[in-house]
Copies of this chain bind each other. A is one copy, B any other.
Amino acid sequence: MTTKSTIPQEKILAAAEVMFASKRFHEVLMEDIAIGAGVGKGTIYRYFKNKEELYAALLKDASTELMKLIENAVKAEVSCKNKLIVILETSINLFDARPHLFDLILHAEAFQRTSVEFPWQETRWNVIQLVESLFILAEDQKEFFIQNPKESALLLLGGLRAIIRFGNKPRQKQLCNDIVDHFLNGFSKSLPLAT
């Protein structure tokens, strides 16, 4: 998705992403989104019944994009270690390329008890499950062995979230390689292996 798109639906979603990320849900007006997208208010309603639907579409769109990118990247790698590295790289690249997405998700999550859907939660569990399944595959392939796949996946992906949000930019070229390498082999460089 790009703000330079000429397809109205994409222009609307791009404009809405910026607005929902910076304002509270009730402060965002369909009219402002129309102005931001450079389309008439009527055009928005041809694509989205109401603000709730537009908001849900926005998260769904980002979520579908992330999962598609991750799945393709994972398929292109052979080793589980490299598959983990590209999951991290793909996620960081998407969030860096769509700087409003993180806040959009944060807002959606804070609002999730309301009538507004929170489609990102499914994506989150999909990525956690993908990482867990790679840990199990790694054991089958005798590549490496992770004692507690679920907890370890949470720790790796929670760490990834913190890096996306608070990590130094520009990103180091070897960042994801280093994270996965340290995750598997230890962040400490002089201790003997734990028993």
Chain A residues at the B interface, C-beta cutoff of 8 Å: 22-24, 26, 103, 106-107, 109-111, 113-114, 128, 142, 144-148, 150-152, 154-163, 165-168, 175, 178-179, 181-191, 193-194
Contacts and interface: CB of A to CB of B under 8 A. Distances in A.
Nearest to A164: B158
A-B pairs with lowest CB-CB distance, top 6: A158-B162, A155-B159, A110-B110, A186-B186, A144-B188, A185-B194
Majority-rule SS of A interface residues: helix
Contact of A146 (B147, B156, B160, B188): B188
A142 B188 CA distance: 11
Most buried by B among A24, A107, A162: A162
Given A24-B24, A159-B154, A166-B154, A187 B183 contact: yes
> Copy number in this complex?
2
Nearest to A193: B185
Contact of A114 (B24, B158, B186): B24
Given A23-B113, A146-B189, 4 more contacts: A144-B188, A155-B162, A157-B162, A183-B187
Contacts of A163: 151, 154-155, 158
A146 B186 CA distance: 9
